[in-house]
Amino acid sequence: MVTFANNPQYLGIDIYDDNTIQDRANTLLFNQSSGGCYLQQDTCGRCMDITVMYKVDIKLNANLIFSDAVATGRTLAEATQSVMSHEFGHVLSVDDVPPSGAICDYIQTIMYQDSQTLMRCGKLTPITPCDSNAANDAYSNVHPGPYCGCSGVACT
């Protein structure tokens, strides 16, 4: 596990190995998307909605990433780079782009959902301008920070 920010004042991104998950990676965003505090102010004064990001967990299945590397002729480092670039898109609240059977020239985003196609096509890092624009658009609405409890006051 790598903790990028262990200071409770800042967003924590924890990365774990977990070879039991079904996918190469699984990114879990901890924010407020429902529940009793949803759309109330927290004690830090923010509106508790989906844009307030408290924590992120990234789980990696090293066995599946290694299999992808072997299947696509990539090194393990290249395959991991491709998977991590994709997962950090999710950290920035960018969604997957469903696989379309596109040829390599038409894949313009690291968020393409087929990891082996990304690796086979040499798409190992974010691709500008598609990925940078998507991240800028999504992240401009995200407010990372510490977890602050529910104040009981509705958002204004």
Stretch that binds Zn ion, among 30-38, 62-70, 89-97, 130-138 (CB under 5 A): 89-97
State whether the Cα torsion 73-76-81-84 is positive or negative.
Answer: positive
Close Cβ partners of 18 (under 8 Å, ≥ 6 residues apart): 26, 59, 60, 61
Residue 119 tokens read as 């690796």
Binding status of residue 96 toward Zn ion by CB under 5 A? yes
| Tokens, residue 122 | 């040499």
Nearer to Zn ion, 17 or 95 (CB): 95
Between the alpha carbon of residue 59 and those of residues 13, 14, 16, 24, 108, the distances in Å are 11, 8, 5, 8, 25
List the x/- string, 102-121, binding to Zn ion by CB under 5 A.
--------------------
- For Zn ion, give the closer residue by CB, 29 or 148: 29
Stretch that binds Zn ion, among 39-47, 94-102, 114-122, 124-132 (CB under 5 A): 94-102
Per CB under 5 A, does 23 bind Zn ion? no
DSSP state of 47: B
- Can you spell out the DSSP letters for 102-131? --GGG---TTBS-HHHHHHTT--S--TTHH
The verdict on 18 binding Zn ion (CB under 5 A) reads no
Piece in contact with Zn ion (CB under 5 A), picked from 13-21, 50-58, 77-85, 88-96? 88-96
Q: Name the DSSP letter for residue 12.
A: E
Q: Which is nearer to Zn ion, 54 or 88 (CB)?
A: 88
Q: Which is nearer to Zn ion, 52 or 84 (CB)?
A: 84
Tell me, by CB under 5 A, how many residues bind Zn ion: 1
Instruction: Output 44 or 62, the one with its CB closest to Zn ion.
Output: 62
Binding stretches for Zn ion (CB under 5 A): 96
